Amino acid sequence: MSASKKTAWAVTAALFLPLVAAVPAHADTKDEKDKQPKPPNAMSSLGGPLLGNAGTQVQLGPGAPVLPKELSGRSWVVADAESGEVLAAHNAHWPLAPASTLKMLFADTLLPKFPDARLKHLVTTADMAGIGAGSSLVGIKEKQTYTVHDLWLGVFLRSGNDAVHVLTSMNSGLRQTVKEMNEHAVELQALDTHVVSPDGYDAPGQVSSAYDLTLIARSGMQKPAFREYAATPRAVFPGEQKPGKKRESFEIQNTNRLLTGDLGVAPYQGIAGVKNGNTTHAGATFTGVAERNGKVLLVTVMNPSSKEQHAVYRETARLLDWGFAAAGKVTPVGELVPPLSARTESAAPDDGSVPAPGKNAPDGTVHAASEERSGGVGIALGVAGGVLVLLAGAVFLVNRRWPLAGAAGRRRRARQDPDVNP
């Protein structure tokens, strides 16, 4: 072989070898994708047959924007909080570890059992037993006294497992609380959900789904106290009481980054809660509710695989943006079902009577009793530049009766006929 040919072969080999070396990297990437968990072959179709399908479900109409490309959540749901329409979903009924988003069910179950937020409790060693290693804590100390209000601030703002354990102890213990939470999940028709640990700490068999967490958040946001806690960015929390001295205190901040912001994540304009979570098994999870131009949306994202910082918040924000832009331009892929008790409510005669104090009227107003429970503080959420303001005497839009089939139909007709009241 001539010298010139040898040189040519050497150059060709030098160019070709890096390409050969690169092939295993592509194979590894494919293998990684193949190793990613996949949804079960059969999932619940509660809320509509499309919601039982694996993969992304969306029905775009004329002028509807396409879904964001940067979505990596194993499961997610975008829903209208008022009508209950599911605008789009991805593996909606996949049972996954929920992490601290399960605290929404804890709060929705137990808040009504402690109507007096001023009730005080002296924390004992038994109250704090069983808190999992590495748990998020608000900083509760044994032999210190806290009000129920303090404890709920610890649950909602700092996702404090210590606060959950104290409230659980006050509620007759772990077994009773788990029983009540599972019963409440059935009442809400959150049937993918099984509770083992009330604080959301990883436990064998503990699961929920994006669909269920959205149902649970929707139920919670109809309760004035739940709304207030979920929308509180910061609060002062009691510290240690030393003999002869004024009790110490410190500020706590909500761990919901779309509410308070963080490096690389701005507060989302219109955000009004709800709850985030993160554990080794569950990954990052989040359910958020936001309002824009009179439209209220709920989004749940579970376990995004993206390495992007704060991926669960970024993907939630993208889905909220999409939902607001797509509202009225997509055919719903399903619905958020009402709780079982709503069937009884729908059978009640419409005699025009005024609801008892504290009950929701047909137009969605809340009477004086609920305002008194919150100490007269209004519970509507005024939003300006992403900053939440509590408005006295008003009511948050999502606070309406469950959208039964008839009510949803009336709202649809009202959009076409201005003489029909929604």
Instruction: For residues 324-345, give the mean pLDDT.
Output: 94
Contact of 243 with 233, CB cutoff 8 Å: no
CATH number, residue 326:
3.40.710.10
In a domain, 21, yes or no: no
Is residue 103 flagged as an active site residue? yes
100, 208, 209, 370: the active-site residue: 100
In a domain, 357, yes or no: no
pLDDT, tens digit, 9 for 90 and up, residues 145-188? 999 999 999 999 999 999 999 999 999 999 999 999 999 999 99
The answer on pLDDT for 103 being more than 80 is: yes
In a domain, 7, yes or no: no
pLDDT: which is higher, 238 or 386: 238
The answer on pLDDT for 318 being more than 80 is: yes
Across 306-396, the runs of DSSP E, i.e. the strands, are: 334-335, 380-384, 387-391
In a domain, 170, yes or no: yes
**How sure is the predictor about 345, in pLDDT bands with cuts at 50, 70 and 90?**
low
> 40: how many CB neighbours lie within 10 A of its CB?
12
Contact of 275 with 249, CB cutoff 8 Å: no
83, 159, 208, 370: the active-site residue: 159
Is residue 100 flagged as an active site residue? yes
Short-list 131, 136, 50, CA closest to 88: 50
In a domain, 131, yes or no: yes
pLDDT: which is higher, 22 or 377: 22
pLDDT: which is higher, 26 or 91: 91
In a domain, 347, yes or no: no
How many domains in the chain? 1
In a domain, 421, yes or no: no
44, 75, 83, 103: the active-site residue: 103
How many Cα atoms are found within 13 Å in the side-chain-facing hemisphere of 83? 23
Contact of 87 with 79, CB cutoff 8 Å: yes
In a domain, 398, yes or no: no
HEC profile for 294-306? Answer: CEEEEEEEEEECC
Range of the domain at 192: 49-335
Q: Is 301 exposed, middle or buried (0-12, 13-18, 19+ CB in 10 A)?
A: buried
- Read off the pTM: 0.78
